Structure 1
Amino acid sequence: MTTSNRHAEIARAIQAAPLLSPIANQLLQVTAKADHEMKEVIDLVKCDSLLTARLLRVVNSAAMGLVHPISSVDHAVSYLGERMVVGIAVAECTNEFLGKALDGYEGEAGQLWRHELFTAIASRAISRHARTPLPADLAFTAGLLHDIGKAILSEFLCGTSRELVAEIVRGDTADYLTGEQERVGLDHSEVGFELARHWKLPEALAQVIRHHHQPETVAAELRPLVYAVHLGDILAMMGGQGTGSDSMKYHLRQEYAEHFTISKDDLALLLLECSEEFRKVEASLASLKET
């Protein structure tokens, strides 16, 4: 298959990808604004009875360990935080798409979603160490969506992962991103960027998706956000939540230290902290699958 034909097939796969629900898209648009208020999030949730029911189910799940049940949307959103609201909204409409097995990466069903979730939690934790103010919940949302391109690119990489890993180990290929480009002509960050356009995501989120492996290439004003996700991505892989054969096959850009006051000891503590929060959040979201 020629490169142009393969690109055309990828473009068709992007167009065929399921769209985000209106409520998820609205929440992403609102929470991407630095000056938004919690009331805007609450008002959106109140307009969607299904999301309201989902939130109340999660907040009252055994994983949350509440003594007294919560019955109001206002209280539920305030307790969970907008990051969980966005996470639940996105999970509801992408469960099948982001939850499928990544055969091209030798990743199991659910592995991509767990990686996205851990990266989101880590990106948010890292944002608290930023040298300049960085919205923590925006970092969470960006982390939650950073690898969406893999859900598309995976089928075009089937049967190549072991050879690619061997090339990286031998030093013949720089990293997994380069290997994707050599085999398909595109990498998952480029494919993810086009999917972000298809989904009409806020520009800041689209840029994170495009540059999260090469944060030095993004516009200066977005670098702290992109570096937060870049580092969060690495922490997720270190925490055992990669997406398959590509885990730990990317370069960590040491320039992250220009944007965050994080030492090696801090990274170890962050990994422990994020691993614990990941287990709690994953358990609470599991209540959505219960019948």
Structure 2
Amino acid sequence: MNAPIDLRQAVRNLNSLPAMPVIAQKLMALKLDSDEGEREMMLLISQDPMISAKIIGLANSPLLGTTRKIAAVKDAAMLLGLTRVKSVATGIAVMSLVSKPIGRFDPQELWLHNMGVAFGMLPVVRAMPARNRPQDDQIFLAGMLHDIGYLALAHLDTQRSDDLHTRFVIEPDRLAIEVERELLEMTHDELGAELAKHWNLPSEVVAVLRYHHTPDVAEAAEGQPLVRIVNITERLLPQLGVREYVGNYVAPEEWEALGIDPDRADEITEQVVEQANQAAQFTNSFS
């Protein structure tokens, strides 16, 4: 048996971490406040058949309720909005890093879970006062990348990744983060944040990845309100993809921290579940 990898030491070695796909790097660097930026984004996406197909598929999915058939990336961008397309395309590019399972880690399950969270966040955001709502691009990027720490773990130490996902199955009602703290010196939220910093992602997205299980710590402030939105949405979701139990109770004061009336909790939960289920149908259509 080989000695387990020291995860803290491994993440200090940048060469041990997966590189962000080139197309994701280019998309992240684009400025969409000019016609040139828009044209460059359309060109980048159209040159990648997988991303193009998923963007068009998303535009035609029940998630958006469109009444006409979308057949081109340009039309999908008009429907979805440029910033949302940029974030979704970036997330798709990142998830393409791993196309096949690594041991027990199945990237399709992570893609399913992250898509469910990204779209499940929308009813929560819509219930917030307009002045407090984050931007669409931030919502989708945070949702689609929040659990990439599981990808980092599988890449760095497949054996302990396997052990973790096995324990998730064996102890389905135990908080996943507690299981991780027992097995690993670095949990998926820490690993995800290190990967995000390695990729030079925005600091508020790094904060979401790092603190979405601990939204009340002072250090989470930089990523608020996205940190809390992701945290609440995960607890409202049905089981999707990754077997990560996070609890299912949201206290009244947590709703109030987002400016939401706790009496709306049942209504919002129903909308989150509906959005997540539709996201799952869309995601499974590309599996």
Which category describes the TM-score, using the shorter chain as reference length? Answer: 0.7 to 0.9
Structure 1 CA distance for aligned equivalents of residues 145 and 119 of structure 2: 12
Secondary structure in structure 1 of the residue aligned to 2:163: coil
Check if 1:186 corresponds to 2:186: yes
**Farther off after superposition, 153-162 or 214-223:** 153-162
**SS of the residue aligned with 2:254?**
helix
Pick aligned residue for 2:163 from 139, 159, 172: 159
**Are the structure 2 counterparts of residues 190 and 6 from structure 1 closer, same or farther at C-alpha, using a change threshold of 3 Å?**
closer
Partner of 1:95: 96
SS in 2 for 1:158: helix
Distance 1:249 1:235, change over 3 A: closer
- The 3 A distance-change label for structure 1 pair 68 and 139 is closer
Counterpart amino acid of residue 257 in structure 1: W
Is the contact between residue 143 and residue 232 of structure 1 (CA under 8 Å) also seen in structure 2?
A: no
Q: 1:133 to 1:110 in 2, by over 3 A?
A: closer
In structure 1, the partner of 2:87 is: 86
Residue in 2 that maps onto 1:46: 42
Please give the alpha-carbon distance, in whole angstroms, between the structure 2 residues aligned to 1:118 and 1:76: 20
Cα shift at 1:97: 2.5
Q: Which amino acid aligns with 2:39?
A: D
Superposed CA deviations along residues 220-239 of structure 1, whole A, max 9, x for unmatched, are 35321211111122223xx2
Fraction of identical pairs, as percent:
22
Q: Contact between 1:99 and 1:113, CA under 8 Å: does it hold in 2?
A: no
Alpha-carbon distance change, 222 to 152 in structure 1, aligned in 2, over 3 angstroms: closer
Q: Deviations over 1:47-91 (max 9, x none)?
A: 424148843774378647654555472x33121233244223431
CA gap of 1:109–1:93, structure 2 versus 1, over 3 A, is: closer
Check 1:161–1:279 CA distance in 2 against 1; reply closer, same or farther (3 A cut).
closer
Q: Relative to structure 2, which stretch is displaced further, 144-153 or 15-24?
A: 15-24
Correspondence list, 1:239-258, <5 A: 239-244=238-243, 246-248=244-246, 255-258=253-256
Check 1:80–1:283 CA distance in 2 against 1; reply closer, same or farther (3 A cut). Answer: farther
CA 1:70–1:198 in 2, change beyond 3 Å: closer, same or farther? same
Counterpart CA distance in 2 for 1:127 and 1:25 is 27
Q: Write the distance in 2 (CA, Å) between the matches of 1:40 and 1:192.
A: 32
Residues 94-121 of structure 1: CA deviation (Å, up to 9, x unaligned): 2252863672xxx655111111111111
Q: In the TM superposition, what is the alpha-carbon distance from 1:146 to its structure 2 partner?
A: 0.6
Deviations 1:159-202 (A, max 9, x none): 35666787896xxx8x4323322322111111111111121111
Matches within 5 A, 1:213-228: 213-217=213-217, 218-220=219-221, 222-228=223-229
Tell me the distance in 1 between the aligned counterparts of 2:122 and 2:28: 16
Post-superposition shift, 1:247? 2.0
Q: Gapped runs of 5+ residues in structure 1?
A: none
SS of 1:209's partner is helix
**Aligned match for 2:124, one of 123, 126, 129:** 126
5 Å-filtered alignment, 1:5-20, equals 5-9=6-10, 11=12, 15-20=15-20
Distance 1:222 1:52, change over 3 A: same
Q: 1:126 to 1:201 in 2, by over 3 A?
A: same
- How big is the alpha-carbon RMSD for the aligned residues of Structure 1 and Structure 2? 3.9
> CA–CA distance in 1 between the matches of 2:241 and 2:283?
19
Change in 2 beyond 3 A, CA 1:128/1:114 = same
Looking at structure 1, the residues matched to 100 and 87 of structure 2 have their Cα atoms a distance apart, in angstroms, of: 17
TM-score (norm 2): 0.74
Cα pair distance change 1:44/1:83, threshold 3 Å: same
Q: Shift of the alpha carbon at 1:151?
A: 1.5
Q: Report the counterpart of residue 232 of structure 1 in structure 2.
A: 233
Shift of 1:241: 1.0
Query: Does the Cα contact within 8 Å between 2:115 and 2:283 map onto a contact in 1?
Result: no
How far apart are the structure 2 equivalents of 1:26 and 1:130? 32
Worse-superposed segment, 193-202 or 251-260: 251-260
- Is the alpha carbon distance of 1:167 and 1:58 closer, same or farther for their aligned partners in structure 2, counting shifts above 3 Å? closer
Specify the alignment match of 2:137 in structure 1: 137
Match of 1:59 in 2: 56
